[in-house]
Amino acid sequence: MILKDILYHRPESIAEAIGLSQECLNNGQRFHYLGGGTDLIPNLKRGQCDDSLHLISLGRIPDLKKIVEEDGKLKIGALRNLAELINHPLIEKIIPGLALAAGKIASPQIRSRATLGGNLLVDTRCVYFNQTETIVAADGACYKNGGTVCHLIPNASGKPNKPCRARFVSDSAAILVLADAQLEIASASGIRKIGLREFYGQDGISRNNLSPSEIVVGITVPLRDYRVMTYEKMRLRATFDFASVGIGFFSDGQTLHFSVNGVESYPLYRAFALPKTGENAVEGIYSSWLQGICEELAKNCSPLKQDLLSPAYRKQMIAVLAKRAAYKYIKPRSLNTLEC
């Protein structure tokens, strides 16, 4: 699909950007904020886009590009691109797990354009949604494409609330929910903050609680010890691919935090307090306990046929990858005793 009739804006401040979007809203015109465009532009290209459209680029707004350590927090501007995050000393120092996850997103070329904000807001994906017009016409448009059916869960068709199970795929979100990061969001009425864990809803269409003219300014990560943190990303091809299953893992010494990406319509987050056995809270964790929580994590997820790999397999892999992530840091002391 050829994109045409695009009105391109390059505001230089947050206020100016919000002003532009408010104007579009008032005039009933379509608009999108533009980060790196690596998600938005392909989606627009295959969409119905006959009427004119405003693209409001955020790339020229200095306030969106900070990376600073301040007030006991790490603050990362939404417009920082992923390649920059991977190599940034502050991120390396404070939360290397974010650099690791960012480095597994898409491909080097895309990472040089793709922004962190865009990644946190990346649209959910589905074999029936991310399709061309010919294929949408062949299948019949699904809820997320403006239709009245769900091809993935046929008995979900014809429902007034249009339930959608398109997959959440942001690899950086899978790490940032573990760190309980907060989003800073600007709107005409000022700045609000919201925890990433609360930000995402459960539905593949509504996705999150950002309203149309709001701008994600950045995220703040509380300063803690994030060394025991990792991200396991499974995909058929080792690069240039979304997660079939992604598992984030973080241990603060008291609690094991897990996230699951690429399966549900949101980054599923679960925390499991380490069982207290004897003097040392860490010692004496039985591998069967770990096995148990990994299986429970998998039980919380219901993969659907949205990938070349079978749903049953992906479900099985949730537990396998979670265990693998945890075992990177937790070493068995004896046959069934573990130690962080």
Ligand X SMILES: Cc1cc2nc3c(=O)[nH]c(=O)nc-3n(C[C@H](O)[C@H](O)[C@H](O)COP(=O)(O)OP(=O)(O)OC[C@H]3O[C@@H](n4cnc5c(N)ncnc54)[C@H](O)[C@@H]3O)c2cc1C
Would you give the distance in Å from CA 181 to the centre of its chain?
12
Give dist(CA 67, CA 78) in Å, integer: 10
Q: Measured between alpha carbons, how far is residue 314 from residues 53, 231, 261, 298 in Å?
A: 39, 16, 11, 9
**Interface stretch with other proteins, choices 213-221, 250-258, 277-285, 311-319 (CB under 8 A):** 311-319
Q: Which of residues 24-63 bind ligand X (CB under 6 A)?
A: 32-40, 42, 58
- 234 scored as a contact of other proteins (CB under 8 A): yes
Q: Measured between alpha carbons, how far is residue 104 from residues 97, 172, 241, 263 in Å?
A: 11, 9, 9, 17
- 309 scored as a contact of other proteins (CB under 8 A): yes
- 220 scored as a contact of ligand X (CB under 6 A): no
Please compute Rg for the chain using Cα positions: 21
The size of the interface with other proteins (CB under 8 A), counted in residues, is 31
Give dist(CA 213, CA 18) in Å, integer: 6
Closest CA to 33 of 212, 191, 223, 210: 212
- 177 scored as a contact of ligand X (CB under 6 A): no
When the beta carbons of 151 and 162 are compared against other proteins, the nearer one is: 151
When the beta carbons of 151 and 207 are compared against ligand X, the nearer one is: 207
Give dist(CA 183, CA 160) in Å, integer: 31
- 8 scored as a contact of other proteins (CB under 8 A): no
Residue in the shown chain whose Cβ atom is closest to ligand X: 118
Give dist(CA 62, CA 49) in Å, integer: 30
- 83 scored as a contact of ligand X (CB under 6 A): no
- 86 scored as a contact of ligand X (CB under 6 A): no
Based on DSSP, count helices (H) and strands (E) in the chain, helices before strands: 12, 15
- 131 scored as a contact of other proteins (CB under 8 A): yes
**Interface stretch with other proteins, choices 115-123, 135-143, 163-171, 283-291 (CB under 8 A):** 135-143
Beta bridge partners of 68: 75
When the beta carbons of 81 and 251 are compared against ligand X, the nearer one is: 81
Instruction: List interacting residues with ligand X (CB under 6 A).
Output: 32-40, 42, 58, 78, 82, 105-106, 110, 113-115, 117-119, 121-122, 169-171, 215-216, 240, 242
Instruction: List interacting residues with other proteins (CB under 8 A).
Output: 1-2, 4, 50, 127, 130-132, 134-135, 137-139, 234, 236-242, 308-310, 312-313, 316-317, 320-321, 324
